[in-house]
Amino acid sequence: MRNTDIAAPDYFHKVVDCQWACPAHTPVPEYIRLIAAGRFSDAYMVNWKSNVFPGILGRTCDRPCEPACRRGRVEKDPVAICRLKRVAADYKDDITERLPKPAVIKNGKRIALVGGGPASLTVARDLAPLGYSCTIFDQDPTAGGMIRTQIPRFRLPETVIDEECGYILDLGIEFVGGTRIDSLKALLAEGYDAVFVGSGAPRGRELDIPGRKEAAANIHIGIDWLSSVSFGHINKIGKRVIVLGGGNTAMDCCRSSRRLGGEDVKVIVRSGFEEMKASPWEKEDAMHEDIPILNFLVPKEFTHENGKLTGVVFEKVKAEYDAKGRRNLVPSGEPDQHIPCDDVLVAIGQENAFPWIERDIGIEFDKWDMPKVDPTTFASTNPKVFFGGDAAFGPKNIIWAVAHGHEAALSIDKLCQGQDINDRPHPMVEIVSQKMGIHEWSYDNDIALDKRYRVPLRDKVVALRDIKAEVELGFDLELGLKETQRCLNCDIQTVFESKLCIECDACVDICPMDCITFTENGEEADLRARLKAPAKNLTQDLYVANDLKTGRVMVKDEDVCLHCGLCAERCPTGAWDMKKYLIDMTHADDLCRTRHQSAA
Amino acid sequence: MTYITKPKFHHPSLPKNALGYTHRDYEGKVSTLCAGCGHDSITASIIEACFELAIEPHRVAKISGIGCSSKTTDYFLNASHGFNSVHGRMPSVLTGANLANRDLIYLGVSGDGDSASIGLGQFAHAMRRGVNMTYIVENNGVYGLTKGQFSATADRGSKSKRGLTNNDNAIDLVAMGLQLGATYVARAFSGDKTQLVPLIKAAIEHEGAALIDVISPCVAFNNHAGSTKSFDYVREHNEAVNRLDFISGRAPIHVSYDPGSTQVVEQHDGSRLVLKKVAADYDAHDRAGAMNFLAHHAAKGQIVTGLIFVDSEPEDLHRHFNTVDKPLNTLSEKELCPGSAALEKINASLR
Ligand SMILES: Cc1cc2nc3c(=O)[nH]c(=O)nc-3n(C[C@H](O)[C@H](O)[C@H](O)COP(=O)(O)OP(=O)(O)OC[C@H]3O[C@@H](n4cnc5c(N)ncnc54)[C@H](O)[C@@H]3O)c2cc1C
Ligand SMILES: Cc1ncc(C[n+]2csc(CCOP(=O)(O)OP(=O)(O)O)c2C)c(N)n1
Ligand code: SF4
Ligand code: SF4
Ligand code: SF4
Ligand SMILES: [Mg+2]
């Protein structure tokens, strides 16, 4: 293998598994260390810069970072990255002084944003401080999009939404609520320099089976029902409720039902329990509230009497795999089951709908009737129109909407400044050695053996009485602090200098994880098998350094390195050093960046 | 010195031996030696050898003298018996322990000062008596612990860190071991574990006096230009006579080898050593030949490493003394105090 190019910005970024996995590339270990140091406001600002909604995401994020977290490979469970974000938000001081101010001098460019969800809000936040005049249109009266209309209050209090949407709207952004855009052509005709479409995926999928029309009064489309609950238009449901579907909408529907009079609430899915779209913790939360999840049941018919729903008939299926390993659900042969109920909530998926976008304004649509969107620049085929969030590639989640928003804002900025939007700047990387003395490091390199701490919950009886009572109480300071100690500081990188190495093996001998090997060079597959501990995780890179005196190579498997720095402590010549790599993604709001990056 | 303790976590796919232990289970405390010390690599090699042999740690007695090298018994096999004796006295403490309990595995760890200077006499007698043990000398050519004075194994003409030249002749412990009748004699380099680990495994399996002289650079006081025990010097002058590829326990050897280039040594307990020859004409069974070979290469400034001599029919001290075949602590009072009639008989035989 050739020398690893550690100067390439992605190499060490990938080692920070959580940050790499985060769509917005939040510098996770950096904010966790700040929390550990009691610097909650600083930790909040590191988050705010990257992911815009720390308080909201600290309660609701889909957390792609956690399955990626190295701690999960070293022991059982990842660091509670998401809930630590909430700790930063809960314990911060008033941070309004640290936020960018509305631009005093406008740059004369006008941007229209359709939809007031996280995608549009991110675009506006990045652009407004630079002098852009941003106008957000939403059919709903308040900003937040599905964060406000879909996510139930027992998971996310409205005060948090108000606070974090407020930080953005206070940047001098015009929010036009209660206004639906019915024609993009007309909007473009108003002479905006760019239009961002962040209208989400607002249509819930229908279930057209016999009895649907007859029993319609008691069959509700999940996302419509949730927004009605959210706006207070609906405040009760029948005693026996069936929720169809296995994604996060289904989980929010069933738990909301439990709080609105549902006593016997069931979730029923076509697939197996394991393949459900909902995250493991969402399923856990539902089951904790006495909601059983029944699987391999396909709804066949709604039964009704005198125009009133009486139940649902299901066919029992089983999974079979074809030669290509694809799963098919086939009848199991067991008799159909009739499950009686008073109400059904249909939560089997969401779709995009763009009836308000004319097809003759230069925006091409594909065969699934989705706009053609560039995955890097988020430009459509009309150079002035950009898409992001659920509107771009179908329903995802908040953090993806934020990530899209940052990229789209960068494109819009470049477009308006007459630059090439395809020329994307590299992230900014700051590299600092952590060495303070022979055995002293400016980070806490001792490894805590603690298992993952659980977030305390409100008493179930109390929680189920009030749909607005937040279930999770958040970590208190003591638990939060303990949880921070589980982070392995994966951004404190082991950096090797061949020229200094005398091949004494001290680092090899001390490394608790058998990461380091000195051996004859070879092809990657061959090397992976020959290391002190076999490097079977192909998603993790090998760090290879040539130019050793004996002609061998140093190979470090990044997979389960604890970043404990013992290699650097034991090295007699300083050939290993522990260096902090602070990777800062490029956003449109350069102003924001220079002001907030150096919290550390 | 390291301030944090070595984390308990280990690699998730670390292999386990027949006892279900990983190599981490054979560790001791974190070393307090200078970072980069060759002795730490020998410690790691002992750990690896014991792990691979699936030795139960409580069946091992690790005994040492005084010196950085002698401190290392604290850094491996936490769950073993141990005795840190006085300077140069490891061999007699080990001999005594071995006489009392012949069932334990004896690991003597010493330094060049400990064995070739103050303890030379002890060293010599343990070798000539054939005590069943693995005697490891961690040889850095200096008194590391007392800040780097030349030891008796420092080569004539080599230079100290401060520029002084050593004018005394060097003691070659391997040559002495051969001359004194050790039945397993090897030399290795701490910087080459692939060579060292099998040599330690074979020495542990050997039922007689096994000596391994391990050149082990002292990074603080003897790793400069002009030293003959530095990483660079040893790497440049290393002449391996053979590579001990593996030893199998009682299991059959299932690796094909070319009989012309390998030598198979049957050990007394049925285990076998497979030696891959590097020097084609070298015979590890020939004691006198080995001594010649050694002297010849030493004159050329070469450091001969590998398994230099092995006697496949070793005898040990217990055999010479015809001692009881059980550890003394398992004998009952009746056997230990056979009564006045037995005493009378012994006295009569001496009259
Ligand atoms: C029940 C449910 C629970 C969820 N829970 C989570 C969760 O816990 N964590 C998570 O990360 N994600 C969750 N999501 C997904 C998440 O809410 C969305 O992925 C995210 O809000 C998408 O953001 P967006 O900015 O693309 O659009 P949206 O948030 O959907 O916002 C789009 C806005 O545009 C408005 N709009 C649409 N068309 C027009 C128009 N023509 N004119 C004017 N306004 C218009 C809509 O009213 C809406 O306010 C959940 C989704 C649902 C349905
Ligand atoms: C009886 C006695 N004399 C002298 C000393 C001082 N002393 C301690 S260690 C040492 C030399 C150790 O050298 P070596 O065995 O080579 O060990 P190293 O530190 O080099 O590994 C000496 C002379 C002592 N501890 N006891
Ligand atoms: S241990 Fe910390 S830095 Fe490493 S992946 Fe997990 S959260 Fe990120
Ligand atoms: S920091 Fe160094 S010693 Fe610690 S686990 Fe990583 S490679 Fe091993
Ligand atoms: S401890 Fe330092 S000098 Fe020794 S092998 Fe490791 S990197 Fe090289
Ligand atoms: Mg010494």
Dihedral (Cα; A515, A518, A521, A522), 10-degree rounding: -40
The ipTM estimated for the assembled molecules is 0.87
A25 within a domain of the structure (yes/no): no
Residues of chain B in contact with residue A505, where contact means CB-CB under 8 angstroms, are 40-41, 44, 190-191, 193
Residues of chain A in contact with residue B36, where contact means CB-CB under 8 angstroms, are 502, 504, 506, 570-573
Predicted pLDDT of residue A446: 92
Ligand having the closest approach to the CA of B65: 2
Measured CA to CA, the distance from residue A341 to residue A589 in angstroms comes to 53
Measured CA to CA, the distance from residue A380 to residue A374 in angstroms comes to 7
Cβ–Cβ contact B12 with A under 8 A: yes
Measured CA to CA, the distance from residue B224 to residue B164 in angstroms comes to 12
> Which of B1, B3, B8, B9 to mutate to test binding with chain A, by most A CBs within 10 Å of its CB?
B9
Is there a single domain that holds both residue A212 and residue A344?
yes
Query: What are φ and ψ of residue A599, in 5° steps?
Result: -65, -25
Domains of chain B: 23-321 (3.40.50.970)
Q: Is the Cβ atom of A69 under 6 angstroms away from ligand 3?
A: yes
Is there a single domain that holds both residue A263 and residue A364?
no
Interface of A with B (CB under 8 A): 73-75, 439, 445-447, 449, 502-506, 508-510, 512-515, 533-534, 536, 549-550, 560, 562, 564, 566, 569-573
A434 within a domain of the structure (yes/no): no
Which chain A residue shows the shortest CA-CA distance from B15? A533
Is there a single domain that holds both residue A181 and residue A242?
no
Contact B38 A550 (CB under 8 A): no
Please give the residue range of the domain that contains residue A288.
Answer: 204-349
Question: Among positive and negative, which fits the CA dihedral A83, A89, A93, A99?
Answer: positive
For residue A314, what are its two tokens? 């299901």
What are the pLDDT digits (tens) for A326-337? 888 999 999 999
Is there a single domain that holds both residue A267 and residue A382?
no
CB A558 within 8 A of CB A12: no
Mind telling me how many Å the CA of B68 is from chain A's nearest CA? Answer: 16
Is there a single domain that holds both residue A118 and residue A234?
no
Predicted pLDDT of residue A218: 96
Predicted pLDDT of residue A193: 98
Which chain A residue shows the shortest CA-CA distance from B232? A502
Q: Which of A397, A416, A435 is the last residue of a domain?
A: A416
Measured CA to CA, the distance from residue B267 to residue B184 in angstroms comes to 11
Secondary structure of residue B214 in the 3-state scheme: strand
CB B77 within 8 A of CB B28: yes
Using alpha carbons only, give the angle B59, B60, B61 rounded to the nearest 5 degrees.
Answer: 130
Q: Is the pLDDT of residue A134 over 70?
A: yes
Q: Is the pLDDT of residue A286 over 80?
A: yes
A98 within a domain of the structure (yes/no): no
Beta-bridge partners for B266:
B272
For residue A246, what are its two tokens? 């296995």
Predicted pLDDT of residue A592: 39
Average pLDDT, integer, range B86-90: 98
Predicted pLDDT of residue A75: 93
Query: Into how many domains does chain A fold?
Result: 2
Measured CA to CA, the distance from residue A600 to residue A580 in angstroms comes to 11
For residue A169, what are its two tokens? 């709207």
Predicted pLDDT of residue B295: 92
Predicted pLDDT of residue A590: 56
Max distance between CA atoms of chain A, in angstroms, equals 89
Predicted pLDDT of residue B249: 54
A500 within a domain of the structure (yes/no): no
Cα-based distances in Å from A494 to A71, A218, A536? 17, 60, 20
Is there a single domain that holds both residue A218 and residue A307?
yes
> Which of B11, B68, B215, B235 to mutate to test binding with chain A, by most A CBs within 10 Å of its CB?
B11
H-run or E-run covering A219: strand A219-221
Is there a single domain that holds both residue A196 and residue A212?
no
Q: Parallel, antiparallel, or unpaired for β A542-545 and A350-351?
A: unpaired
Q: Which of A349, A373, A393 is the last residue of a domain?
A: A349
Question: Among positive and negative, which fits the CA dihedral A297, A302, A308, A310?
Answer: negative
A505 → closest Cβ in B10, B12, B41: B41
Is there a single domain that holds both residue A239 and residue A296?
yes
Contact B10 A570 (CB under 8 A): no
Mind telling me how many Å the CA of B217 is from chain A's nearest CA? Answer: 9
Whichever domain contains A336, its CATH number is 3.50.50.60
Contact A506 B9 (CB under 8 A): no
User: Using 50, 70 and 90 to split pLDDT, how confident is the model at B254?
Assistant: very low
A449 → closest Cβ in B8, B44, B219: B8
A334 within a domain of the structure (yes/no): yes
Predicted pLDDT of residue B181: 96
Task: Identify the CA nearest to A482 among candidates A444, A513, A510, A517.
Answer: A444
What are the pLDDT digits (tens) for B185-195? 999 999 999 99
User: Using 50, 70 and 90 to split pLDDT, how confident is the model at A30?
Assistant: very high
Contacts 24+ apart (CB under 8 A), A144-148: A144/A116, A144/A117, A144/A118, A145/A115, A145/A116, A145/A117, A145/A118, A145/A119, A145/A120, A145/A121, A145/A198, A145/A200, A145/A389, A146/A117, A146/A200, A146/A223, A146/A390, A147/A53, A147/A56, A147/A60, A147/A117, A147/A118, A147/A398, A148/A230
A16 within a domain of the structure (yes/no): no
Which range (A136-150, A438-452, B35-49, B73-87) has the least confidence?
Answer: A438-452
Contact A504 B41 (CB under 8 A): yes
What are the pLDDT digits (tens) for A258-276? 999 999 999 999 999 999 9
Is there a single domain that holds both residue A179 and residue A282?
no
A594 within a domain of the structure (yes/no): no
CB A78 within 8 A of CB A69: yes
A239 within a domain of the structure (yes/no): yes
Is there a single domain that holds both residue A289 and residue A235?
yes
Q: Is the Cβ atom of B112 under 6 angstroms away from ligand 2?
A: yes
